[in-house]
Amino acid sequence: MEIPVFELQRPFESGVTGPDELGDAAWWFVFQGDRLLLQREGGEFAPPAMRRIEMLGVEVISRHYLGQLDGRHCYGVDAAGAEPPPGLEPRHLFGLGERMDQDLYLLAGRTFQILEWDRKHRFCGRCGTATEYRRNERARRCPQCELTVFPRLTPAMMALVRRDRQILLARSPRFPKGFYSVLAGFAEPGETMEACVRREVREEVSLEVENIRYFGSQPWPFPHSLMMAYTCDYAGGELRVDDDELEHADWFEPEALPPVPGEMSIAGHLIRWFVREVTGR
Ligand SMILES: [Zn+2]
């Protein structure tokens, strides 16, 4: 099985402690709220590259060293305010994937996950004391009770259910009009990913599945998921849609697919894998 790639393509050395002083320009992934500040270069967007964040003229709430991409230092920054500095455009991450260099887009997603975690753990969840950022590891620690919190990741699954030449696709009321995708859901405490696949398929469309096989994964920073994709075979039951979760679900043949996700999502890779398997194209 072909495993799709949602990994950094250029060499990347992850780190938590940056250099004392920057000799060269660094990439700065600066978020104001949930919007990334970008420069437009032709039809593409890129984060600003400079030696000092102060040159940007934003008020820095927190700064997080990410590591080196192909020898260039990278930082994530949480910036105050809603007005972008001159020359920069604020953009939501969602939908940016096709308009940015893939490595820079992945690092922007990584930054967003780190900032979301950092913003939401300023105070200890156990005793309410203000937490402190650790210098030598990506963690916040409570000075009172020593609770340490690391960036949170929420495992989620995506399942392509197959029945001979057909796949099951569903649409959520949140999707754009006419748009379909494979089933997805979050793992519950105590569950394996395989059990999560079986439960979600059962809950959402009342079907049983078998032959659950891992396909690949994708960091999904909306806001802090790791999406794991699986394929499985229909094993029984009659299609019955859970109205609370889905608007519609049905079996589709590869020649008659509705609009589905594209290259930037692992759902798109899953669906294309199925089409190739069935049609040889
Ligand atoms: Zn505490």
Q: What is the DSSP string of 260-272?
A: ---TTSHHHHHHH
Distance from residue 16's CA to the centre of ligand 1 (Å): 23
On whether both 146 and 189 belong to a single domain, the answer is no
Task: List pLDDT tens digits, range 8-56.
Answer: 999 999 999 999 999 999 999 999 999 999 999 888 999 999 999 998 9
- List, as ranges, residues with CB under 5 A of the ion ligand 1: 124, 126-127, 129, 142, 144-145, 147
Cα 79 to chain centroid distance, Å, stands at: 21
Phi then psi for 11, rounded to 5 degrees? -60, 135
Distance from residue 127's CA to the centre of ligand 1 (Å): 4
On whether both 138 and 67 belong to a single domain, the answer is no
On whether both 108 and 142 belong to a single domain, the answer is no
Mean pLDDT, range 90-104, rounded to an integer: 91
Q: H/E element holding 186?
A: strand 183-186
Name the H helices within the chain.
102-120, 193-205, 266-279
- Three-state SS for 252? strand
Both structure tokens of 270: 């899953």
Percent of the chain scoring above 90 in pLDDT: 89
Distance from residue 6's CA to the centre of ligand 1 (Å): 36
- Is 17 a domain residue? yes
**Does residue 135 have a pLDDT over 60?**
yes
- Is 26 a domain residue? yes
On whether both 113 and 175 belong to a single domain, the answer is no
Both structure tokens of 132: 């402190």
On whether both 167 and 247 belong to a single domain, the answer is yes
d(CA 81, CA 185): 34
pTM for the full predicted model: 0.91
Distance from residue 118's CA to the centre of ligand 1 (Å): 16
On whether both 110 and 62 belong to a single domain, the answer is yes
Distance from residue 111's CA to the centre of ligand 1 (Å): 25
Handedness of CA 208, 212, 216, 220 (dihedral sign): positive
Distance from residue 124's CA to the centre of ligand 1 (Å): 5
Number of domains in the chain: 3
- Is 7 a domain residue? no
d(CA 181, CA 264): 13
- Is 4 a domain residue? no
C-beta of residue 228 within 8 angstroms of C-beta of residue 196: no
Domain CATH number, residue 261: 3.90.79.10
On whether both 158 and 234 belong to a single domain, the answer is yes
On whether both 196 and 264 belong to a single domain, the answer is yes
Both structure tokens of 105: 């887009």
Task: List pLDDT tens digits, range 185-206.
Answer: 999 999 999 999 999 999 999 9
Could you tell me the pLDDT band of residue 5, with boundaries at 50, 70 and 90? confident
* The pLDDT value given to residue 98: 87
**Does residue 1 have a pLDDT over 60?**
no
Domain CATH number, residue 34: 3.90.79
d(CA 106, CA 8): 7
Distance from residue 141's CA to the centre of ligand 1 (Å): 8
Phi then psi for 223, rounded to 5 degrees? -100, -20
- Is 269 a domain residue? yes
Distance from residue 164's CA to the centre of ligand 1 (Å): 54
Q: Do β-strands 154-163 and 225-236 pair in parallel, antiparallel, or remain unpaired?
A: parallel
Task: List pLDDT tens digits, range 48-73.
Answer: 999 999 989 999 999 999 999 999 99
- Is 188 a domain residue? yes
On whether both 143 and 91 belong to a single domain, the answer is no
Domain holding 141, by residue range, is: 124-151
* The pLDDT value given to residue 4: 60
Cis peptide before 223 (omega within 30 of 0): yes
